Amino acid sequence: MNNKAHTPLFHVSRRAALPWYGAWGIRAAALLIALLACALITNLITGLNPLEVYATIWQGSFGSARRTWVLFQNIAMLLCVSLAITPAFRMRCWNLGGDGQMLIGCLATTACMILLGGKLPNGVVILCMFVSSVLAGAVWAAIPAFFKAKWNTNETLFTLMMNYIATQLVAYYIIIWEVPKGAGKIGIINQSTQAGWLPQIGSYKYLLNILIVAVVCVLMYIYLNYSKHGYEIAVVGESERTARYVGIKVDRVIIRTMFLSGAVCGLAGMLLVGGTEHTLTTTITSGRGFTAVMVSWLAKFNPIWMILTSFLLVFLERGAGQIATSFGLSASYADILTGLILFFIIGSEFFINYQIKFRHAAGKED
């Protein structure tokens, strides 16, 4: 009986760890293939010149100085939330409550701006905003962490439910603080006095936010890779049993790490309200807490690489919106292109972690 007839054409095996340039080379190739696929689909469906479409994507982000600054501001906000959830994700504690923790930070910041603005010096108001937003986000994340540490509850569902509670709390206080009464919205907070607004550096409206997030990025990289706490997070993520065996107090690490995640999310909320939007809505986070999961995962929980993945996602989002505006296409078509590009990029992770080995030619032995 010929056993070679039953030999599979190929088999999949786990790949040895690739150097960073090899992994990013595969991702770059995936991005190039994605652009070619999108070009083909664009031409077949709409008849548009793909090069014009791609030029429009570029214009959507870099077409003017204002668009460029808005791009970097959006990157900074997404990066801040991604940095926030990364310590928990490294620990294999799936914190999907980034949106809720940001919202609570936004709410705490808004409360300080409304209740303290004009009554205290602006520097004191900003300091109160910082402390209250960081503490609010930290406590909001520590609640599911406590239940996870003590009773092993499902942190994924718990943090998701906390998002809904945060949304309803914000909706409640919007009605209390609405201006004018019956409007159902707060409007621009302290528009005439600008009390609680973060200071502007020169003529660059968003520069302070960007610089703060850059500092957070560097500190988070050092914390995760060169501190005792970062080492404990990595060990707990590999195996809780091993962590307990070597004397690490796992419950304490879980609560501490989630506390840190929530604190940075709260900081992002303060930057969003105090530095960018100057108002509060239930949709102010724009789903960044969920997009941050993709940013963190694609960067392999490395804070430095998250800068690139944040840039890619924000660039595609803004470019997709510009396509819809310039060519009169629906936003759905722009989302299709974005989805295709992300599909190829995410799919490239398979080829980074695994390799396909084809059967040798007939007559050759393995």
pLDDT digits (tens, 9 = 90+) for 288-303: 999 999 999 888 899 9
Compute CA 175 distance to the chain's CA centroid, rounded to the nearest angstrom: 29
Model confidence at 336, pLDDT cuts 50, 70, 90, reads confident
Do 38 and 178 fall into the same domain? no
Mean pLDDT, residues 110-127 taken together: 95
Q: Report which secondary-structure segment, H or E, holds 106.
A: helix 98-116
Do 296 and 351 fall into the same domain? no
Q: Report which secondary-structure segment, H or E, holds 32.
A: helix 20-46
Angle at 294 between CA 292 and CA 283, to 5 degrees: 40
The pLDDT of residue 129 is 97
Mean pLDDT, residues 146-163 taken together: 94
> Is residue 5 included in any domain, yes or no?
no
> Is residue 342 included in any domain, yes or no?
yes
Helix axes 207-226, 303-327, angle to 10 degrees: 140
> Is residue 56 included in any domain, yes or no?
no
> Is residue 154 included in any domain, yes or no?
yes
Do 157 and 17 fall into the same domain? no
> Is residue 40 included in any domain, yes or no?
yes
* Closest-CA residue to 86 (of 243, 271, 286, 261): 261
> Is residue 182 included in any domain, yes or no?
yes
Angle at 224 between CA 221 and CA 228, to 5 degrees: 135
Do 17 and 136 fall into the same domain? no
Mean pLDDT, residues 264-275 taken together: 96
Do 89 and 19 fall into the same domain? no
CA distances (Å), 96 to each of 48, 157, 258, in order? 39, 8, 11
Do 189 and 338 fall into the same domain? no
Do 77 and 288 contact (CB within 8 A), yes or no? yes
Do 239 and 167 fall into the same domain? yes
The pLDDT of residue 365 is 45
Do 339 and 261 fall into the same domain? no
Do 159 and 283 fall into the same domain? yes
For the ranges 1-5, 10-14, 167-171, the one whose mean pLDDT is highest: 167-171
- CB under 8 Å to 90, separation ≥6 — which residues? 224, 233, 234, 237, 301
Model confidence at 363, pLDDT cuts 50, 70, 90, reads very low
> Is residue 52 included in any domain, yes or no?
no
> Is residue 253 included in any domain, yes or no?
yes
- Pairwise CA distance, residues 297 & 314, whole Å: 16
| Overall domain count for the chain | 2
Q: State the average pLDDT for the chain.
A: 89
Do 309 and 335 fall into the same domain? no
Model confidence at 360, pLDDT cuts 50, 70, 90, reads low
Do 156 and 212 fall into the same domain? yes
Do 340 and 297 fall into the same domain? no
The pLDDT of residue 204 is 85
Q: Which domain holds residue 278?
A: 65-327
Model confidence at 78, pLDDT cuts 50, 70, 90, reads very high
The pLDDT of residue 3 is 52
CATH label of the domain that carries residue 141: 1.10.3470.10
* pLDDT, tens digit, 9 for 90 and up, residues 241-268: 999 999 999 999 999 999 999 999 999 9
- Whether the per-residue pLDDT at 2 is higher than 70: the answer is no
Positive or negative: CA dihedral 66, 81, 350, 317: negative
